[in-house]
Amino acid sequence: MSTISKPWDKDPVLTVEHLTMRFGGLVAVNDLSFSAGRGDITALIGPNGAGKTTVFNCITGFYKPTTGMMTMRHKDGATHLLERMPDFVVSKKAKVARTFQNIRLFSGMTLLENLLVAQHNPLMIASGMTFLGVLGIGGYKAKERQAIEKAKYWLDKIKLTDRADDPAGDLPYGAQRRLEIARAMCTGPALLCLDEPAAGLNPRESAELNELLLGIRRDEDTSILLIEHDMSVVMEISDHVVVLEYGTKISDGTPAETKNDPRVIAAYLGVDDEEVDKVEHELDEVQAHHTQGSGQ
Amino acid sequence: MEVFIQQVINGITIGSLYGLIAIGYTMVFGIIGMVNFAHGDVFMVSAFFALIFFLALTAWLGIASITITLLIVMVISMVLTGLLSWAIERIAYSPLRGSFRLAPLISAIGMSIVLSNFVQVAQGPRNKPIPPMVRETFTLWENNGYAVTISLKQVIIMAVTAVLLVAFWYMVQKTALGRAQRACEQDRKMAGLLGINVDRTISLTFVIGAALAAVAGTLYLMYYGVVHFADGFTPGVKAFTAAVLGGIGSLPGAVLGGLLIGLIETLWGQYVSADYQNVAAFSILVIVLIFMPQGLLGRPEVEKV
Amino acid sequence: MTSNTTKKAGPDLGKAFKDAILAGIIAFALLGPLIGLKTDQNMDNQLVLVNNMPVALIFVALVMVGRFLLAAFIYPAIAAKGAKSKAAVSLAELEAKAKRTKRLSLGGLVFLFVYPMLILALFGVQGSIKWVDNFGVQILIYVMLGWGLNIVIGLAGLLDLGYVAFYAVGAYSYALLAINFHLSFWVLLPLAGILASFWGMILGFPVLRLRGDYLAIVTLAFGEIIRLVLINWKDFSGGSAGISSIPKVSLFGLYSFDMGATNNFAKAFHLAASSAYYKVFLYYLILLLALLTAFVTTRLRKLPIGRAWEALREDEVACRSLGINTTNTKLTAFAIGAMFGGFAGSFFAARQGFVSPESFVFMESAVIVAIVVLGGMGSMIGVALAAVAMIGGTELLRELSFLKAVFGDDFNPDQFRMLLFGLAMVVIMVWKPRGFISARQPTAFLFEKKTISGDLVKEGHG
């Protein structure tokens, strides 16, 4: 165990401290603490039922955690305590956007409309809280044109511009996933939470998704927190991996570190304790060997 | 004190009727998630069936024994009302299963309009009074000149309700039909895959609910001695309130809710204001739904994200 | 109970016959007592049964014939057509339909403006009253109510079964304020709207976090509570007797339609005294009010609030994840819908000159909801069509007095009005569960506006 402070602890965009969520007798998340670095792609992984989505629902305000503190730090130094906010304020003020495990698009609305709904709050102000907009005064038209431009920018990014005027429900599955990400990005988030974005994608779509996420990290002021099962996605694009099992954190480190963490391997492969001991022992030996090697 | 007990007796009587109707709401809501808006009017039609066959038996066939008459009338009304409810389900609801969610509700509202107006046209718009079937009243005790009484009618209502509930409870818990019903409540598709005839189970649910409403309709006619084509709406809404108060989907809840609504209504009428009796019932509905939407015995609903 | 005739060449008459017999038996069991044994009071005020069996048998026969035709010919035809059209609902067809709808609405608008002139020309001044008032004004009131409720149900997807409460608030506001404070209609119209939307917010606030059918039932209960309070709070509302001699609307204060007034409209223009002028004036007034509703709704749809309403109908959880305050959004829908209900209510009070709780029963709410759903949720023109079909259709029944010649003098077609209304609701829902016009027009586009098939549009959770 290294004692050096991790890079994501230096300037975290989100810190979760002692988060616990109970449903009746069931402890879904147990005393979880981790931080997500600014500009990083942080992955939250773990076997089915590990409590990953519950963590997301707590962060985005859909669940009130039993105990714990979740802090968003914006670039300008403003901090927001997420556990005190109702869900829509988390998105509006704390600038946390999210997608859903089972896609939640506005299927009867066009792609463009989906992206315009995401810009609701600034557009509401532009329409004078509707009053001026109904009367047709106050320059709402120009603001709406800007919003459409922004939507077009994201449609270009997800390569769906030519389908802008089709209903979202008509899109193929992979495109719906991308549209949901674009819609979340249209809210201008500081943190984007993606719930299994690669689920159900074919290899080509999966590669496109990686490209999109890396593009967001490169071009936007948005950090990403994602839940993922697909290890190739996690290993390829994430900077930091947090592993959950039965609601408890069992590992926290770089992708390479977690990949070799015996507890992670055990959790994923379901080996018995004896074998874990064996693997741990072997790893210790390897590590000892390495340190010796570097010492020379 | 005597007044209070008297009102409690009256309240339990009315509450039993509400409970019987409420079961129909709660079962249908449990199995297909629909508020069967026409159920109140089905109850009203059942009272008319009872009325017609009561007149036919007494006046035409000259059956003198009130017990036998009541029994026959109740059975006929149960059969015919069950048949009516079956037909309504086949015509107005089952073609809409799985489609647009509002469609069955609108269809049910349409059916409710059809039933009440059909009875108005076929049987006339006036009140339909009959001579009292059962007259006996027992005095339980007297104090300061105020006698607490319970009429035979009330005893019959409470007894019939209790017996039917036990039988019904047994059916839902112990028989194959009850199991099929509970399976359909949990997951209709899966139940179908496991070989349960889902359509028939749903139809039977409607029939059973209607048969219980018919018992309530017959007892209502016996208790009040009068029925009117518009009598379905208010008892219907109150019974629905009872179902919600008890926790919709829960059968004991429906009965408990019915008794509570009956009690609250009569006590409110006695001690607060007779004018605002119905306002009280509706207010309870609103308050319960807002502050305790899962009801007294229902399971809380967790929002899935 | 669907017949498998698609496989065979001709209709399966044997099966249809069996179905018809079964339907006949059921119909006899139900209609035999209900129609065949009519309860009636005799001279001694005792209830007796009157044998009416022949009529019952006629209806049983009708059921059998109907069932036979359905099973033998109509279902197979629908099945065959359905198989063909399901596959072929293309974008082009949707567009063609949308264009037709647009032409229809333009034509309809022109017709609405010339309608009173046409009626005056055809039936003369006195003869026009019935057509302008019973048909024109009556239908337009429901068009306006339907459009108002369409905001709540059709756009925001919130099932409100107590809309008539806001109609009542508008009507009583006008009635009470006009009588007690002698304010003019033109002052009270906006005031009634504001009061109604205020009530919309008060009632809406606690109930809007409810989901699904619960919202429907609570709004129903609120509607009933308001009506019961109006009945019982006699000092305030006059109780069941209601409020009468409510002042008429004036022509912006310039001309009055009161017969005795010095600036009476007919006198001023040297016309024969008739109430027809007032009716024509009311017609144009409600037409403009309805068009105002339509205009504002169209405007709102293209604003963020309107998009948020529709998004709310599609997926509330997603809306919250995008930072939309769903409570406020729902409240706005409720309040704006209520406001138009209030406008319509004050117009109603001024037109009738009399209001009583009797006009605001649950059935009125049900009728308005039915109009919105039958028309196709969210579609303005669909709602208008449904109002014309349902209200106009049932009004027409009043005109069928010639049927008395067929069925005898006791026959009163008016009493079949609501019965047929209910039947129409059931039939239309089974036939077209999504209403007359279910396709949706997008509110913004990048390249071209494409009509969205109703199959993709969700109906909301409440």
Whether B106 sits inside 8 A of C369 (CB atoms) is: yes
Q: Which positions of chain A have pLDDT values less than 70?
A: 1-5, 269-280, 282-296
Q: What's the rounded mean pLDDT across residues C34-38?
A: 87
Residue A54 maps to which CATH number? 3.40.50.300
Residues B177 and B200 sit within 8 Å (Cβ to Cβ): no
The CA distances from residue A89 to A12, C169, C261, in Å, are 20, 34, 59
Q: Which amino acid is at B292?
A: M
Quick one: pLDDT band at residue C401, thresholds 50, 70, 90?
low
Question: How large is the C-alpha radius of gyration of chain B?
Answer: 19
Is the same domain home to A83 and A211?
Answer: yes
DSSP C365: H
Question: Which pLDDT belongs to residue A42?
Answer: 92
Same domain, A15 and A89: yes
Taking the CB of residue B189, how many other CB atoms lie within 10 A of it?
9
- Give the residue on B whose Cα is nearest the Cα of A62: B305
Any idea which of B3-12, B276-285, C210-219, C254-263 has the lowest mean pLDDT? C254-263
B112 band by pLDDT with thresholds 50, 70 and 90 = very high
pLDDT digits (tens, 9 = 90+) for C281-340: 899 999 999 999 999 999 999 899 999 999 999 998 999 999 999 989 999 999 999 999
Which tokens belong to B125?
Answer: 């718009």
Q: Which residues of B touch C416 (CB under 8 A)?
A: 117, 121
Percentage of chain C exceeding pLDDT 90:
30
A interface test, pick of B294, B302, B305 with most A CB neighbours within 10 Å:
B305
The rounded distance, in Å, linking the Cα atoms of C212 and C132 is 39
Count of the separate structural domains present in chain A = 3
Average pLDDT, chain B: 87
Contact assignment for C218 to B91 by CB distance below 8 Å: no
> Between chains, do B305 and A23 touch, taking CB under 8 Å as contact?
no
Query: Of C27-36, C309-318, C403-412, which gets the smallest average pLDDT?
Result: C403-412
**A156 in the same domain as A125:** yes
Q: Are B240 and B249 within 8 A, CB to CB?
A: no
Bridging pattern class, strands C47-51 and B146-151: unpaired
- Please state which of the ranges B26-30, B142-146, B278-282, C259-263 shows the lowest mean pLDDT: C259-263
All residues of chain C having their beta carbon less than 8 Å from the beta carbon of residue A89 are 323
Q: Which of B52, B95, B293 sits opposite C33 (nearest CB)?
A: B52
pLDDT, tens digit (0-9, with 9 covering 90-100), for A142-180: 888 999 999 999 999 999 999 989 999 989 998 999 999
Residues of B in contact with C421 (CB under 8 A): 110, 113
Please report residues of C whose CB lies closer than 8 A to that of A187: 322-323
Q: Are residues A88 and A12 in the same domain?
A: yes
Q: Taking residues C127-142, what's their average pLDDT?
A: 86
User: What would the two tokens of residue A116 be?
Assistant: 């315009």
The residue among C21, C11, C164 whose CA lies nearest residue C80 is C11
Determine, for residues A53 and B305 on separate chains, whether the beta-carbon distance falls below 8 Å: yes
Residue A248 lies in a domain: yes
Looking at the structure, tell me whether residues A89 and A8 fall in a common domain: yes
The pLDDT value recorded for residue A293 is 46
How many beta-carbon pairs below 8 A join chains A and B? 7
B-chain CB neighbours of A57 within 8 Å are 305
Please judge whether C323 and A91 are an interchain contact, meaning their C-beta atoms are less than 8 angstroms apart: yes
What pLDDT, in 10s, does the model give residues B227-265? 999 889 889 988 988 888 888 878 888 999 999 999 988
- Asked if the Cβ–Cβ distance from C38 to B233 is below 8 Å, we say no
Q: Is C11's pLDDT higher than 90?
A: no
Residues A84 and A42 in one domain: yes
In a domain, A151, yes or no: yes
**Which has the closest alpha carbon to A98: A199, A221, A208, A180?**
A180
B105:C159 CB<8 A: yes
Shortest Cα distance from B304 to chain A (angstroms)?
A: 9
Which residues, other chains included, contact A238 with Cβ-Cβ below 8 Å and sequence gap of 6+? A40, A41, A42, A43, A226, A255
Q: How confident is the model at residue C8 (pLDDT cuts 50, 70, 90)?
A: very low
Q: Are residues A273 and A245 in the same domain?
A: no
pLDDT at position A17: 92
More confident residue, A283 or C20: C20
Residue B197, helix vs strand vs coil: coil
Residue C425: pLDDT over 60: yes
Measured between alpha carbons, how far is C147 from C108 in angstroms, rounded to an integer?
Answer: 16
Higher pLDDT, A165 or C461: A165
Cβ contacts of B303 on chain A, cutoff 8 Å: 62
In a domain, residue A119? The reply is yes
Q: What is the residue extent of each domain of chain C?
A: 13-87, 130-368
- What subunits touch chain A, counting only 3 or more CB pairs under 8 A? B, C
Are A74 and A150 in a shared domain?
A: no
Domain contains A294: yes
User: A147 with A216, same domain?
Assistant: no
| Interchain contact, C310 vs A91, CB within 8 Å | no
Query: What pLDDT score does B29 carry?
Result: 87
In angstroms, the separation between the Cα of residue C223 and the nearest Cα of chain B is: 10
Interface test with A, best of C322, C331, C443 (most A CBs within 10 A): C322
**Mean per-residue pLDDT, B104-115:** 91
Chain C contact partners (≥3 CB pairs within 8 A):
A, B
| Distance between CA atoms of residues B179 and B194, nearest Å | 12
A210 and A91, same structural domain?
yes
CB pairs A-C closer than 8 Å: 141
The answer to whether residue B6 scores a pLDDT higher than 50 is yes
How large is the average pLDDT for residues B1-16? 90
Helix axis angle for C417-431 and C362-375, nearest 10°, is 30
Which of the other chains make 3 or more beta carbon contacts under 8 angstroms with chain B?
A, C
Domain C-terminal end among A164, A187, A210: A187
Question: Strands A26-37 and B128-129: what pairing?
Answer: unpaired
Q: Phi/psi of residue B150, each to 5°? A: -135, 130
Q: Is the pLDDT of residue B206 over 90?
A: yes
ipTM: 0.87
Domain that holds residue A288: 260-296
> Partners of A22 in the beta sheet?
A27
* Token representation of residue A169: 């429900």
Does some domain include residue A102? no
Contact indicator for C270, C281 with CB cutoff of 8 Å? no
For strands A191-195 and A96-98, give the pairing. Answer: parallel
Comparing CA positions, the residue from C124, C215, C115 lying closest to residue C162 is C215
Q: What CA–CA distance (Å, rounded) separates C75 from C114?
A: 42
Who's near C446: CB < 8 A, 6+ residues apart? Answer: A112, A148, A151, A152, A155, A161, A164, A165
Range with the poorest average pLDDT among A131-145, B111-125, B156-170: A131-145
Partner-chain contact B107 C429, CB within 8 Å: yes
Q: Which two tokens stand for residue A281?
A: 């022992």
Of C381, C416, C180, the closest CA to residue C297 belongs to C381
Q: Give me the pLDDT at residue C1, please.
A: 42
Residues of C in contact with B52 (CB under 8 A): 33-34, 37, 39, 49
Residue C6's pLDDT band, with cuts at 50, 70 and 90, is very low
Nearest CA in chain B to A87: B305
**Residues of C with Cβ-Cβ distance to A116 under 8 angstroms:** 304, 307, 444
Subunit contact B45:C363, Cβ cutoff 8 A: no
Closest chain B CA to residue A99: B305
Q: Please give, rounded to a whole number of angstroms, the shortest distance from the CA of B17 to a CA of chain C.
A: 20
Domain-located, residue A112: yes
Which residues on chain C are in Cβ contact (under 8 Å) with B56?
37, 49
